[in-house]
Protein backbone atom coordinates (compact mmCIF):
# COMPACT_ATOMS: atom_id res chain seq x y z
CA UNK A 1 0.00 0.00 0.00
CA UNK A 2 1.36 3.41 -1.02
CA UNK A 3 1.95 6.09 1.61
CA UNK A 4 -0.46 8.97 2.27
CA UNK A 5 1.07 12.40 1.70
CA UNK A 6 -0.17 15.77 2.93
CA UNK A 7 1.05 18.84 1.01
CA UNK A 8 1.08 22.11 2.99
CA UNK A 9 1.86 24.85 0.45
CA UNK A 10 0.21 28.25 -0.15
CA UNK A 11 1.33 28.60 -3.78
CA UNK A 12 -1.23 26.78 -5.95
CA UNK A 13 1.03 26.16 -8.98
CA UNK A 14 3.82 24.63 -6.90
CA UNK A 15 1.40 22.61 -4.76
CA UNK A 16 -0.37 21.27 -7.85
CA UNK A 17 2.96 20.41 -9.46
CA UNK A 18 3.88 18.37 -6.40
CA UNK A 19 0.46 16.69 -6.42
CA UNK A 20 0.90 15.61 -10.06
CA UNK A 21 4.40 14.24 -9.40
CA UNK A 22 3.22 12.22 -6.40
CA UNK A 23 0.02 11.05 -8.10
CA UNK A 24 2.00 9.68 -11.07
CA UNK A 25 4.29 7.86 -8.63
CA UNK A 26 1.29 6.13 -7.04
CA UNK A 27 1.13 7.99 -3.72
CA UNK A 28 -2.20 8.77 -2.04
CA UNK A 29 -2.57 12.55 -1.88
CA UNK A 30 -4.68 14.21 0.81
CA UNK A 31 -6.39 17.57 0.06
CA UNK A 32 -3.83 20.38 -0.11
CA UNK A 33 -3.56 22.76 2.89
CA UNK A 34 -2.37 26.35 2.43
CA UNK A 35 -2.28 27.59 6.04
CA UNK A 36 -1.54 26.48 9.59
CA UNK A 37 -5.28 26.22 10.35
CA UNK A 38 -6.01 24.07 7.29
CA UNK A 39 -3.00 21.86 8.00
CA UNK A 40 -4.12 21.37 11.61
CA UNK A 41 -7.63 20.43 10.47
CA UNK A 42 -6.24 17.90 7.97
CA UNK A 43 -4.07 16.35 10.68
CA UNK A 44 -7.13 15.97 12.92
CA UNK A 45 -9.16 14.27 10.16
CA UNK A 46 -6.39 12.15 8.64
CA UNK A 47 -3.06 10.74 9.72
CA UNK A 48 -0.63 11.24 6.82
CA UNK A 49 2.46 9.07 6.57
CA UNK A 50 4.52 12.14 5.64
CA UNK A 51 4.00 15.89 5.22
CA UNK A 52 5.59 18.10 2.56
CA UNK A 53 5.70 21.41 4.41
CA UNK A 54 6.34 24.91 3.08
CA UNK A 55 7.99 27.25 5.57
CA UNK A 56 5.99 30.34 4.57
CA UNK A 57 2.19 29.91 4.68
CA UNK A 58 -0.93 32.07 4.54
CA UNK A 59 -1.49 33.79 7.89
CA UNK A 60 0.81 34.65 10.78
CA UNK A 61 1.84 31.09 11.68
CA UNK A 62 4.47 29.29 9.61
CA UNK A 63 5.43 25.80 8.56
CA UNK A 64 7.79 25.70 11.53
CA UNK A 65 4.72 25.97 13.80
CA UNK A 66 3.13 23.06 11.93
CA UNK A 67 6.37 21.10 12.34
CA UNK A 68 6.09 21.36 16.14
CA UNK A 69 2.72 19.57 15.96
CA UNK A 70 4.11 16.93 13.63
CA UNK A 71 6.96 16.24 16.04
CA UNK A 72 4.55 15.54 18.92
CA UNK A 73 2.55 13.19 16.67
CA UNK A 74 5.72 11.51 15.34
CA UNK A 75 4.83 12.26 11.71
CA UNK A 76 7.87 12.73 9.43
CA UNK A 77 8.05 15.90 7.35
CA UNK A 78 10.14 17.44 4.59
CA UNK A 79 10.46 21.22 4.19
CA UNK A 80 9.73 23.04 0.93
CA UNK A 81 11.42 26.40 0.43
CA UNK A 82 13.45 28.66 -1.80
CA UNK A 83 14.56 30.74 1.18
CA UNK A 84 18.20 30.72 2.34
CA UNK A 85 17.85 33.29 5.14
CA UNK A 86 20.23 32.12 7.87
CA UNK A 87 17.85 32.77 10.78
CA UNK A 88 14.97 30.91 9.10
CA UNK A 89 17.35 28.18 7.98
CA UNK A 90 18.57 27.52 11.54
CA UNK A 91 15.05 27.67 12.99
CA UNK A 92 13.85 25.12 10.43
CA UNK A 93 16.86 22.88 10.99
CA UNK A 94 16.25 22.88 14.75
CA UNK A 95 12.96 21.03 14.17
CA UNK A 96 14.95 18.13 12.65
CA UNK A 97 13.15 17.61 9.32
CA UNK A 98 13.58 14.41 7.36
CA UNK A 99 14.74 16.34 4.32
CA UNK A 100 14.55 19.57 2.41
CA UNK A 101 13.32 20.23 -1.14
CA UNK A 102 14.48 23.42 -2.80
CA UNK A 103 12.12 25.17 -5.23
CA UNK A 104 11.59 24.74 -8.17
CA UNK A 105 10.94 21.02 -7.71
CA UNK A 106 12.18 18.24 -9.99
CA UNK A 107 10.37 14.93 -10.12
CA UNK A 108 13.50 12.87 -9.54
CA UNK A 109 14.48 15.00 -6.50
CA UNK A 110 11.00 14.81 -4.98
CA UNK A 111 10.72 11.03 -5.30
CA UNK A 112 14.29 10.41 -4.11
CA UNK A 113 13.79 12.69 -1.10
CA UNK A 114 10.58 10.90 -0.11
CA UNK A 115 12.24 7.52 -0.45
CA UNK A 116 15.11 8.62 1.79
CA UNK A 117 12.75 10.27 4.30
CA UNK A 118 10.67 7.10 4.73
CA UNK A 119 13.84 5.03 5.07
CA UNK A 120 15.27 7.39 7.68
CA UNK A 121 11.97 7.47 9.61
CA UNK A 122 11.96 3.68 9.72
CA UNK A 123 15.51 3.68 11.08
CA UNK A 124 14.72 6.34 13.69
CA UNK A 125 11.65 4.42 14.88
CA UNK A 126 13.94 1.53 15.80
CA UNK A 127 16.07 3.78 18.01
CA UNK A 128 15.47 3.34 21.76
CA UNK A 129 13.75 6.35 23.30
CA UNK A 130 15.53 8.53 25.85
CA UNK A 131 13.15 7.27 28.55
CA UNK A 132 13.93 3.65 27.69
CA UNK A 133 17.64 4.36 27.85
CA UNK A 134 17.28 6.05 31.24
CA UNK A 135 15.24 3.13 32.65
CA UNK A 136 17.52 0.49 31.16
CA UNK A 137 20.99 1.98 31.37
CA UNK A 138 23.06 1.11 28.31
CA UNK A 139 25.83 -1.26 29.29
CA UNK A 140 29.03 0.55 28.43
CA UNK A 141 31.57 -1.65 26.70
CA UNK A 142 35.15 -0.52 26.27
CA UNK A 143 35.42 -2.16 22.84
CA UNK A 144 32.76 -2.77 20.20
CA UNK A 145 33.76 -5.69 17.99
CA UNK A 146 31.36 -4.67 15.19
CA UNK A 147 32.58 -1.10 14.68
CA UNK A 148 36.06 -1.39 16.19
CA UNK A 149 35.41 1.66 18.40
CA UNK A 150 36.84 1.81 21.93
CA UNK A 151 34.80 3.87 24.34
CA UNK A 152 33.27 4.12 27.82
CA UNK A 153 31.30 7.22 26.84
CA UNK A 154 27.50 7.18 26.60
CA UNK A 155 27.59 9.68 23.73
CA UNK A 156 29.91 7.42 21.73
CA UNK A 157 27.81 4.38 22.64
CA UNK A 158 24.86 6.16 21.05
CA UNK A 159 26.94 6.77 17.93
CA UNK A 160 27.79 3.05 17.76
CA UNK A 161 24.06 2.34 17.85
CA UNK A 162 23.53 4.82 14.98
CA UNK A 163 26.27 3.09 12.97
CA UNK A 164 24.65 -0.32 13.48
CA UNK A 165 21.28 1.06 12.32
CA UNK A 166 22.39 3.06 9.28
CA UNK A 167 25.09 0.64 8.12
CA UNK A 168 22.82 -1.88 6.34
CA UNK A 169 20.77 0.88 4.63
CA UNK A 170 21.60 2.68 1.39
CA UNK A 171 21.31 6.16 2.92
CA UNK A 172 23.94 8.84 2.53
CA UNK A 173 25.64 9.72 5.82
CA UNK A 174 27.18 13.04 6.88
CA UNK A 175 29.76 12.78 9.66
CA UNK A 176 30.39 16.01 11.56
CA UNK A 177 33.13 16.75 14.05
CA UNK A 178 36.40 18.49 14.76
CA UNK A 179 39.63 17.30 13.17
CA UNK A 180 40.99 14.17 14.80
CA UNK A 181 37.70 12.93 16.30
CA UNK A 182 37.68 9.72 14.24
CA UNK A 183 35.46 10.54 11.25
CA UNK A 184 37.30 8.11 8.95
CA UNK A 185 37.01 5.29 11.52
CA UNK A 186 33.24 5.87 11.65
CA UNK A 187 33.06 5.83 7.83
CA UNK A 188 34.97 2.53 7.77
CA UNK A 189 32.61 1.10 10.41
CA UNK A 190 29.53 2.09 8.39
CA UNK A 191 31.01 0.43 5.29
CA UNK A 192 31.91 -2.73 7.21
CA UNK A 193 28.37 -3.07 8.58
CA UNK A 194 26.80 -2.50 5.14
CA UNK A 195 25.78 -4.88 2.37
CA UNK A 196 28.65 -3.41 0.33
CA UNK A 197 31.43 -4.50 2.69
CA UNK A 198 32.90 -6.93 0.12
CA UNK A 199 33.21 -4.04 -2.37
CA UNK A 200 35.78 -1.22 -2.21
CA UNK A 201 35.77 1.69 0.22
CA UNK A 202 37.44 4.59 -1.60
CA UNK A 203 38.69 7.41 0.65
CA UNK A 204 39.09 10.92 -0.81
CA UNK A 205 40.46 13.93 1.09
CA UNK A 206 38.77 16.78 -0.76
CA UNK A 207 40.90 19.38 1.01
CA UNK A 208 44.12 17.83 -0.32
CA UNK A 209 43.07 17.79 -4.00
CA UNK A 210 44.41 20.67 -6.15
CA UNK A 211 41.55 22.83 -7.44
CA UNK A 212 42.59 22.34 -11.07
CA UNK A 213 42.66 18.52 -10.75
CA UNK A 214 39.71 17.79 -8.49
CA UNK A 215 37.22 17.12 -11.31
CA UNK A 216 39.61 14.70 -12.99
CA UNK A 217 40.35 12.96 -9.67
CA UNK A 218 36.69 12.49 -8.78
CA UNK A 219 35.10 11.84 -12.17
CA UNK A 220 38.04 10.72 -14.33
CA UNK A 221 39.06 11.75 -17.85
CA UNK A 222 39.63 10.24 -21.27
CA UNK A 223 42.99 10.14 -23.01
CA UNK A 224 43.59 13.43 -24.83
CA UNK A 225 40.72 15.20 -23.04
CA UNK A 226 43.06 18.11 -22.22
CA UNK A 227 46.72 19.04 -22.45
CA UNK A 228 48.69 16.55 -20.40
CA UNK A 229 46.00 13.84 -20.42
CA UNK A 230 48.33 11.23 -21.91
CA UNK A 231 46.28 8.31 -20.64
CA UNK A 232 42.78 7.52 -19.44
CA UNK A 233 42.11 8.05 -15.73
CA UNK A 234 39.40 6.21 -13.79
CA UNK A 235 37.88 8.64 -11.27
CA UNK A 236 37.27 7.92 -7.61
CA UNK A 237 33.50 7.53 -8.05
CA UNK A 238 33.99 4.89 -10.74
CA UNK A 239 36.63 3.13 -8.61
CA UNK A 240 34.02 2.90 -5.84
CA UNK A 241 31.31 1.48 -8.14
CA UNK A 242 29.33 -1.11 -6.20
CA UNK A 243 30.94 0.01 -2.93
CA UNK A 244 31.29 3.16 -0.84
CA UNK A 245 33.07 6.47 -1.34
CA UNK A 246 34.13 8.50 1.69
CA UNK A 247 34.56 12.19 0.92
CA UNK A 248 36.48 13.74 3.80
CA UNK A 249 36.41 17.55 4.16
CA UNK A 250 33.54 17.81 1.66
CA UNK A 251 33.11 21.46 2.64
CA UNK A 252 36.29 22.24 0.68
CA UNK A 253 34.69 21.43 -2.70
CA UNK A 254 34.29 24.37 -5.07
CA UNK A 255 30.78 25.38 -6.12
CA UNK A 256 31.45 24.09 -9.65
CA UNK A 257 32.43 20.66 -8.31
CA UNK A 258 29.45 20.67 -5.93
CA UNK A 259 27.10 20.87 -8.95
CA UNK A 260 28.70 17.76 -10.50
CA UNK A 261 28.70 15.97 -7.15
CA UNK A 262 24.99 16.73 -6.77
CA UNK A 263 24.43 15.04 -10.13
CA UNK A 264 25.99 11.84 -8.77
CA UNK A 265 23.63 11.95 -5.78
CA UNK A 266 20.54 12.72 -7.86
CA UNK A 267 21.10 10.87 -11.13
CA UNK A 268 23.57 8.15 -10.01
CA UNK A 269 25.76 9.00 -12.98
CA UNK A 270 29.11 10.61 -13.75
CA UNK A 271 30.57 12.30 -16.82
CA UNK A 272 34.36 11.96 -17.13
CA UNK A 273 36.15 14.88 -18.79
CA UNK A 274 36.02 14.22 -22.54
CA UNK A 275 33.91 11.09 -22.01
CA UNK A 276 30.31 9.94 -22.05
CA UNK A 277 27.84 9.85 -19.18
CA UNK A 278 27.86 6.53 -17.34
CA UNK A 279 25.91 5.10 -14.43
CA UNK A 280 27.55 4.35 -11.07
CA UNK A 281 26.23 2.53 -8.01
CA UNK A 282 27.95 4.21 -5.08
CA UNK A 283 27.02 4.80 -1.47
CA UNK A 284 28.21 8.21 -0.30
CA UNK A 285 29.58 9.02 3.14
CA UNK A 286 30.80 12.59 3.59
CA UNK A 287 32.55 14.33 6.48
CA UNK A 288 33.55 17.84 7.42
CA UNK A 289 34.85 19.86 10.36
CA UNK A 290 33.10 22.97 9.03
CA UNK A 291 29.70 24.29 10.07
CA UNK A 292 27.91 23.59 6.80
CA UNK A 293 24.85 25.59 7.86
CA UNK A 294 27.03 28.71 7.94
CA UNK A 295 28.62 27.74 4.61
CA UNK A 296 25.13 27.44 3.09
CA UNK A 297 24.01 30.78 4.55
CA UNK A 298 27.19 32.38 3.19
CA UNK A 299 26.59 31.01 -0.31
CA UNK A 300 29.71 28.81 -0.21
CA UNK A 301 27.88 25.47 -0.10
CA UNK A 302 24.78 24.52 -2.06
CA UNK A 303 21.65 24.13 0.04
CA UNK A 304 20.28 21.31 -2.13
CA UNK A 305 23.58 19.40 -1.83
CA UNK A 306 23.61 19.93 1.95
CA UNK A 307 20.17 18.39 2.36
CA UNK A 308 20.95 15.53 0.00
CA UNK A 309 24.01 14.70 2.12
CA UNK A 310 22.41 15.39 5.49
CA UNK A 311 20.06 12.40 5.34
CA UNK A 312 21.59 10.75 8.41
CA UNK A 313 23.97 13.06 10.28
CA UNK A 314 26.36 11.69 12.91
CA UNK A 315 28.05 14.28 15.15
CA UNK A 316 31.23 13.13 16.89
CA UNK A 317 32.00 14.77 20.25
CA UNK A 318 35.50 16.18 20.84
CA UNK A 319 37.75 14.21 23.19
CA UNK A 320 37.49 16.93 25.89
CA UNK A 321 33.76 16.13 26.16
CA UNK A 322 34.37 12.41 26.72
CA UNK A 323 37.00 12.49 29.45
CA UNK A 324 36.18 8.92 30.48
CA UNK A 325 37.77 7.78 27.21
CA UNK A 326 41.11 9.60 27.62
CA UNK A 327 42.77 7.03 29.88
CA UNK A 328 41.16 4.12 28.01
CA UNK A 329 42.55 5.31 24.66
CA UNK A 330 45.90 6.32 26.17
CA UNK A 331 46.36 2.79 27.50
CA UNK A 332 45.42 1.29 24.14
CA UNK A 333 47.90 3.47 22.23
CA UNK A 334 50.76 3.08 24.76
CA UNK A 335 50.39 -0.72 24.66
CA UNK A 336 50.30 -0.68 20.87
CA UNK A 337 53.45 1.44 20.50
CA UNK A 338 55.26 -0.34 23.35
CA UNK A 339 54.87 -3.63 21.47
CA UNK A 340 56.27 -2.05 18.32
CA UNK A 341 59.26 -0.69 20.25
CA UNK A 342 59.73 -3.90 22.26
CA UNK A 343 59.20 -2.02 25.54
CA UNK A 344 57.42 -3.04 28.73
CA UNK A 345 55.23 -0.09 29.75
CA UNK A 346 52.46 -1.07 32.14
CA UNK A 347 50.69 2.20 32.93
CA UNK A 348 50.73 5.85 34.01
CA UNK A 349 51.45 7.62 37.28
CA UNK A 350 48.47 9.35 39.01
CA UNK A 351 50.00 12.77 38.20
CA UNK A 352 50.24 11.96 34.47
CA UNK A 353 46.65 10.70 34.47
CA UNK A 354 45.51 13.94 36.12
CA UNK A 355 47.36 16.06 33.54
CA UNK A 356 46.01 14.04 30.61
CA UNK A 357 42.43 14.35 31.84
CA UNK A 358 42.78 18.09 32.48
CA UNK A 359 44.35 18.84 29.09
CA UNK A 360 41.85 20.09 26.48
CA UNK A 361 43.18 18.01 23.51
CA UNK A 362 42.50 20.42 20.61
CA UNK A 363 43.70 17.75 18.17
CA UNK A 364 41.40 15.14 19.75
CA UNK A 365 42.09 11.40 19.42
CA UNK A 366 44.69 11.92 16.68
CA UNK A 367 46.67 14.22 18.98
CA UNK A 368 46.40 11.73 21.85
CA UNK A 369 47.73 8.97 19.59
CA UNK A 370 50.72 11.10 18.54
CA UNK A 371 51.48 12.06 22.16
CA UNK A 372 51.44 8.39 23.17
CA UNK A 373 53.80 7.54 20.31
CA UNK A 374 56.22 10.19 21.58
CA UNK A 375 55.73 9.06 25.19
CA UNK A 376 56.64 5.48 24.25
CA UNK A 377 59.94 6.62 22.78
CA UNK A 378 60.83 8.89 25.74
CA UNK A 379 59.77 6.59 28.61
CA UNK A 380 62.70 4.63 30.05
CA UNK A 381 61.00 2.59 32.78
CA UNK A 382 57.82 0.54 32.98
CA UNK A 383 55.68 3.45 34.25
CA UNK A 384 54.95 6.70 32.40
CA UNK A 385 55.78 9.34 35.02
CA UNK A 386 55.86 12.44 32.82
CA UNK A 387 53.30 14.03 30.53
CA UNK A 388 55.39 14.60 27.43
CA UNK A 389 53.28 17.31 25.95
CA UNK A 390 53.43 20.91 27.07
CA UNK A 391 52.43 23.09 24.12
CA UNK A 392 53.83 26.59 24.00
CA UNK A 393 51.00 29.15 24.03
CA UNK A 394 50.66 31.21 20.87
CA UNK A 395 51.68 34.76 21.66
CA UNK A 396 49.47 37.41 20.08
CA UNK A 397 50.50 40.97 20.87
CA UNK A 398 47.61 42.68 19.10
CA UNK A 399 44.82 42.12 16.61
CA UNK A 400 47.09 42.72 13.61
CA UNK A 401 49.34 39.83 14.62
CA UNK A 402 46.44 37.39 15.00
CA UNK A 403 47.06 34.19 13.09
CA UNK A 404 44.98 33.86 9.94
CA UNK A 405 43.26 30.73 8.68
CA UNK A 406 44.33 29.02 5.45
CA UNK A 407 41.20 30.40 3.77
CA UNK A 408 42.02 33.97 4.88
CA UNK A 409 45.60 33.60 3.63
CA UNK A 410 44.37 32.25 0.29
CA UNK A 411 42.01 35.21 -0.09
CA UNK A 412 44.79 37.69 0.72
CA UNK A 413 47.10 35.98 -1.80
CA UNK A 414 44.52 36.11 -4.61
CA UNK A 415 43.64 39.73 -3.77
CA UNK A 416 47.32 40.72 -3.93
CA UNK A 417 47.68 39.05 -7.33
CA UNK A 418 44.55 40.76 -8.69
CA UNK A 419 45.67 44.18 -7.47
CA UNK A 420 49.13 43.74 -8.99
CA UNK A 421 47.45 42.91 -12.32
CA UNK A 422 45.01 45.83 -12.03
CA UNK A 423 42.18 43.27 -11.63
CA UNK A 424 42.88 41.60 -14.96
CA UNK A 425 41.89 37.97 -14.44
CA UNK A 426 42.69 36.20 -17.73
CA UNK A 427 45.05 36.52 -20.66
CA UNK A 428 48.72 37.56 -20.75
CA UNK A 429 49.69 39.45 -17.60
CA UNK A 430 46.47 38.37 -15.86
CA UNK A 431 46.15 37.08 -12.29
CA UNK A 432 45.49 33.49 -13.46
CA UNK A 433 48.81 33.50 -15.31
CA UNK A 434 50.60 35.04 -12.32
CA UNK A 435 49.15 32.45 -9.94
CA UNK A 436 49.75 29.64 -12.45
CA UNK A 437 46.19 28.31 -12.28
CA UNK A 438 43.40 27.95 -14.84
CA UNK A 439 41.08 30.94 -15.33
CA UNK A 440 37.97 28.90 -14.43
CA UNK A 441 39.66 27.75 -11.21
CA UNK A 442 40.51 31.34 -10.26
CA UNK A 443 36.96 32.52 -11.00
CA UNK A 444 35.58 29.67 -8.87
CA UNK A 445 37.89 30.50 -5.93
CA UNK A 446 37.03 34.22 -6.20
CA UNK A 447 33.32 33.39 -6.06
CA UNK A 448 33.71 31.04 -3.10
CA UNK A 449 35.90 33.53 -1.17
CA UNK A 450 33.60 36.48 -1.94
CA UNK A 451 36.23 38.45 -3.90
CA UNK A 452 34.71 41.27 -5.95
CA UNK A 453 36.44 44.20 -7.62
CA UNK A 454 33.81 46.74 -6.60
CA UNK A 455 33.93 45.71 -2.95
CA UNK A 456 37.73 46.07 -2.90
CA UNK A 457 37.60 49.55 -4.44
CA UNK A 458 34.93 50.61 -1.93
CA UNK A 459 37.02 49.28 0.95
CA UNK A 460 40.11 51.18 -0.25
CA UNK A 461 38.15 54.43 -0.75
CA UNK A 462 36.64 54.14 2.76
CA UNK A 463 40.12 53.60 4.17
CA UNK A 464 41.40 56.71 2.36
CA UNK A 465 38.41 58.74 3.57
CA UNK A 466 39.05 57.68 7.19
CA UNK A 467 42.63 58.87 6.93
User: What residue spans define the domains of the chain?
Assistant: 4-126, 145-315, 319-384, 404-466
Cis, bond preceding 104 (omega within 30 deg of 0):
yes
Question: Does residue 156 carry a pLDDT above 70?
Answer: yes
Q: Is the pLDDT of residue 362 over 70?
A: yes
Question: What's the pLDDT tens digit per position in 88-135?
Answer: 777 888 898 888 887 778 787 788 788 878 877 876 776 555 444 444
Helices 406-420, 453-466: inter-axial angle, 10-degree rounding? 90
For residue range 394-426, list pLDDT tens digits in order: 454 554 445 677 778 888 888 887 887 778 888
4-126 and 145-315 share one fold: yes
SS3 annotation, 12-32 = HHHHHHHHHHHHHCCCEECCC
Cα separation of 375 and 385, whole Å? 10
Give the single-character DSSP code of 383. Answer: E
Tens digits of residue pLDDT in 203-238: 999 988 887 788 889 999 988 888 888 889 899 999
Q: What is the mean pLDDT of the chain?
A: 84
The CATH number given to 404-466 is 1.10.10
Topology at the third CATH level for domain 4-126: Rossmann fold (3.40.50)
Collect all residues with Cβ–Cβ distance below 8 Å to 403 and sequence separation of at least 6: 394, 396
Query: What's the CATH number for 319-384?
Result: 1.10.8.60
pLDDT of residue 139: 44
> Rounded to whole angstroms, how far apart are CA atoms 305 and 302?
5
Give the pLDDT band (50/70/90) at residue 456: low
Q: C-alpha distances in angstroms, 210 versus 23, 292, 441?
A: 45, 21, 10
What are the tens digits of pLDDT across the range 15-73? 999 999 999 999 999 999 999 999 999 999 999 999 999 988 888 899 999 999 999 99
Which CATH number describes the domain made up of 145-315? 3.40.50.300
In terms of pTM, does the model score above 0.75? no
Amino acid sequence: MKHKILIVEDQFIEANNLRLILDRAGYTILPIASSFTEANEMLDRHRPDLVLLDIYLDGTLTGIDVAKILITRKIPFVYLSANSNRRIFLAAKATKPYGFLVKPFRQRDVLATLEVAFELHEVMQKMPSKTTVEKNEIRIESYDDVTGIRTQSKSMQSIIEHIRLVGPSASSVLILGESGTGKELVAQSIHETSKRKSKPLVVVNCGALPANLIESELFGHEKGAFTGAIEKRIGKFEQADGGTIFLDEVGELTLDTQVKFLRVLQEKEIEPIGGKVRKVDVRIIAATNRRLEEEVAGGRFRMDLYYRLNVFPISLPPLRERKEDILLLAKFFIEKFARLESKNIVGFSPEVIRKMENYHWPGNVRELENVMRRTTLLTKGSLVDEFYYQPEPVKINNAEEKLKSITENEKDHIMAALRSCNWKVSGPGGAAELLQIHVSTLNSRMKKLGIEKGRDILKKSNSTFEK
